[in-house]
Amino acid sequence: MIVNKDTKNVDHIPVLEEEVKFFLNIRKGRTYVDGTFGAGGHSSMILSSADCRLYSIDRDPNIKIYGQKLKKEYPNNFQLIEGNIGNLKVLLEKHGIDKIDGGILFDFGLSSMQIDNSERGFSFRYDGPLDMRMSQEGPTAADIIDEYDEKELSNLIYKYGEEYKSRKIAKAIVNYKKSKPITTTFELAKIIREAIGHKSNKKIDPATKTFQAIRIKVNNELEEIKQALEDTKKLLAPGARLVVISFHSLEDKIVKNFLKINCGLIENPYRHSLDIYNNPSDKNIIFSLLTKKTIKSSEKNNKINPRARSAKLRAAEKNSDFADAA
Ligand SMILES: C[S@@+](CC[C@H](N)C(=O)[O-])C[C@H]1O[C@@H](n2cnc3c(N)ncnc32)[C@H](O)[C@@H]1O
């Protein structure tokens, strides 16, 4: 999803829109879930594709305004739920839903609304408080930085940022903290850039990986993703679809492994590709994989929406044999 800053009205272009539409297989009378509503770009596309029912979820309370707009357009077909997809099954059960016969979509990561709002503290490009909480509840990024010692920071930055210079960064943060707490995005970004340097030929800002790591920790992102994916096994009815878009390798690894296990796929060590482990009686084969390779955004679409560049889509269909899996 991107936000067009040239207009007062927010103009949403969802990532991989056509591909999501194709793989979700949106049909009249079916029920769908958009687990990451954001500004409602994909939700809007789903509702306009067929006379279906849609439950959209987001943990960010600021999305209500977009939800209200869709509710006005589709009063009988659309329901917005504020909550965490780590509790997907429970959230839907509270609305009387225990089976989804259409499909479930996840478009992980942050919305442009979140990134481009300096007050939310997600981006090192804007100066703002070190917050980074999607739900605006619980400890902030500043709290975590304040609380963690050098080793904990280094481990966090290495694990969730895949940053091999994590030790240098952690040391610089802890040194700085001795004189004053780190409370703003610009302060943190400056400490990181000074600690590991910024090569002028590198496009990626040195603060990128550390910001990613802290954001993942603040929002417990990877655990919530794992739980949400697990819940889809019970929620989806036979023939219903699971469509997932991820933005960085840690997210994609979780999705890939989940599908590998639940589609009964094994990695062929000789051909570096996924092959079907053809044993239909295997009780682990809950889904059939629809995307042997990840689906990526076209160059044309990347030009319109540069954030789509790192998006990867994977999709699967729930198998009939698992009608009663619960
Ligand atoms: C990339 S945006 C989705 C954009 C949306 N597909 C659109 O077209 O407008 C991701 C959204 O998912 C939400 N989100 C991320 N993790 C979540 C979680 N664990 N539970 C609920 N919402 C989550 C974020 O708050 C954000 O609004």
pLDDT the model gives residue 321? 63
Atom 22 in ligand 1: which residue has the minimum CA distance?
Answer: 58
Q: Which atom of ligand 1 is nearest to the CA of 84?
A: 20
What is the C-alpha separation between 158 and 166, in angstroms, rounded?
5
Lookup: tokens for 160 = 């969730």
CB 63 within 8 A of CB 20: no
The residue type at 276: I
Question: Mind listing the domains of the chain with CATH numbers?
Answer: 17-113+220-322 (3.40.50.150), 136-218 (1.10.150.170)
pLDDT the model gives residue 6? 34
pLDDT the model gives residue 266? 64
| C-alpha distance from residue 76 to each of 38, 51, 52, 64 (Å) | 21, 10, 10, 17
Kindly give the residue spans of alpha helices, DSSP state H, lying in the chain.
Answer: 17-24, 41-49, 64-73, 88-93, 112-115, 141-147, 150-161, 166-179, 185-196, 208-218, 221-235, 249-262, 299-304
Q: 167 alpha carbon to ligand 1 midpoint, in Å?
A: 31
Q: Beta partners for 103? A: 32, 241
Choose the residue to mutate in 13, 111, 116, 229 for probing ligand 1, maximizing ligand atoms within 8 Å of C-beta.
111
Q: Which atom of ligand 1 is nearest to the CA of 85?
A: 20
Atom 8 in ligand 1: which residue has the minimum CA distance?
Answer: 41
pLDDT, mean of each 10-residue run, the chain (326 residues)? 37 86 98 98 97 98 96 98 98 97 97 94 96 97 98 98 97 97 98 88 88 98 97 97 96 95 71 47 80 92 85 96 51
pLDDT the model gives residue 33? 98
pLDDT the model gives residue 282? 58
Residues in Cβ contact with 97 at an 8 Å cutoff, skipping those fewer than 6 apart: 31, 55
pTM for this prediction:
0.91
Cβ < 6 Å from ligand 1: which residues? 1, 12, 14, 36, 38-42, 57-60, 63, 84-86, 107, 109-111, 134, 224
pLDDT the model gives residue 10? 39
Q: Which atom of ligand 1 is nearest to the CA of 220?
A: 19
The residue type at 210: T
Q: 1 alpha carbon to ligand 1 midpoint, in Å?
A: 10
End-to-end CA distance of the chain: 33
| C-alpha distance from residue 47 to each of 15, 19, 138, 304, 315 (Å) | 16, 16, 33, 23, 20
CB 245 within 8 A of CB 309: no
Q: Beta partners for 236? A: 100
